[in-house]
Amino acid sequence: MVAALLATTLTGAVALAVQTGAAGAAGPNLSGVTLNVADQFKQYQTIFNATGALKGAKYTVNWSDFPSGTQIIAAETGGSVDLGTMAETPTIFAQAAGDPVKVVAATVGANPKVSPFALLVPTGSAVTKVSQLRGKSIAVQEGTVEQYLLMQMLAKAKVPYGTVTIDNLTLINGSAAVQNGKVDAYLGIQPLVGLDVQSGKARVLTTAAGYGMLLNYLTASQSALDNPKKKAAIADFVQRFYNAGNYLRQHRALAAQTYVKTYGVSPSVATAAVASVQVKGSPITKQIMTYQQKEAATFLRLGLLTSKLNTTGVFTLPFNRQIAAAAGLTG
């Protein structure tokens, strides 16, 4: 998600790619509107700054950065954030908790053979396959997509989830733990995976390729959606983002260059990291909603949810038209 969406400063081609969205002349006056947007690892802020995608917007964007989607959900619920980016899992627990947030837009993995997520072990570890993790300690933040992917990896390797010890650590703390040998394994994401490998203190045991749809959501607080001006600004923001992303997917070398500059990894690590993420904009589809329901059922089966959810309730569909247009889709 992070690596594939980065790029260096772009010129006229982006100006052609980034069109104004739904909040055009016929919409409400957005002068004076501020959209508070929560980011992770500055991925969206980097996209907009690098491409100039917000040029001409009639509203102001106030950026903030968070370590995970669970914290973004809390900020949306508390009223300090209008819109945020995250994988799908935090929205399952948000719905279970009754948090007033909705999924308004999505990207999906375009290539099941690659993933930015990976399971790492300390460089000197004797562990060479996932099946050897029975009885071991694994760092992963609970309530996140990393936890769900870890569940899938362990299940495929026939390692019951209850036979491993989970260290509930944030991505950054988990990265430090595996490098320092304080845990036996860690489920991480780019750019941290690249930095861990570059340090020489950790190695990839396996990537998460093929274990999930690689979903990334934009979620909005219900209070922002209930505000006509903020809702119009969100619609415009969504279309600008997907138009910019459409362009960047065709210029992956540019993404790698900025990845080097932003995160301090080597060009070879940056190139590999960018290649690990291949995503595309998507309307909220039946396939996405079915996947969300299946994931929620997994958490329920393991006792991490206390009751069954109808996960369609966390989605709102009015922005599908803008997403389809920006993604070059017909429906």
pTM of this structure: 0.84
Amino acid at 115: S
What is the Cα–Cα distance from 250 to 259, expressed in whole angstroms?
16
- As for how many domains the chain has, the answer is 2
Co-location of 104 and 245 in the same domain: yes
Q: Is the pLDDT of residue 252 over 90?
A: no
pLDDT at 1: 45
CATH number at residue 244: 3.40.190.10
Co-location of 134 and 283 in the same domain: no
Domain end marker among 207, 241, 261:
207
Sign of CA dihedral 293, 111, 191, 251: negative
Co-location of 239 and 142 in the same domain: no
pLDDT at 5: 40
Co-location of 166 and 261 in the same domain: no
User: Which structural domain range is residue 146 located in?
Assistant: 117-207
Q: What are phi and psi of 108, to 5 degrees?
A: -130, 155
Domain end marker among 187, 207, 227:
207
Co-location of 129 and 277 in the same domain: no
When pLDDT is cut at 50, 70 and 90, the band that residue 13 belongs to is: very low
Does residue 21 lie in a domain region?
yes
Segment among 246-250, 260-264, 309-313 with least mean pLDDT? 246-250
Summarised one tens digit per residue, pLDDT across range 228-237 is 999 999 999 9
Domain end marker among 188, 207, 226:
207
Co-location of 101 and 8 in the same domain: yes
Co-location of 141 and 223 in the same domain: no
Co-location of 239 and 307 in the same domain: yes
Does residue 284 lie in a domain region?
yes
Q: Is the pLDDT of residue 39 over 60?
A: yes
Does residue 331 lie in a domain region?
no
Co-location of 225 and 157 in the same domain: no
Segment among 203-207, 237-241, 310-314 with least mean pLDDT? 237-241
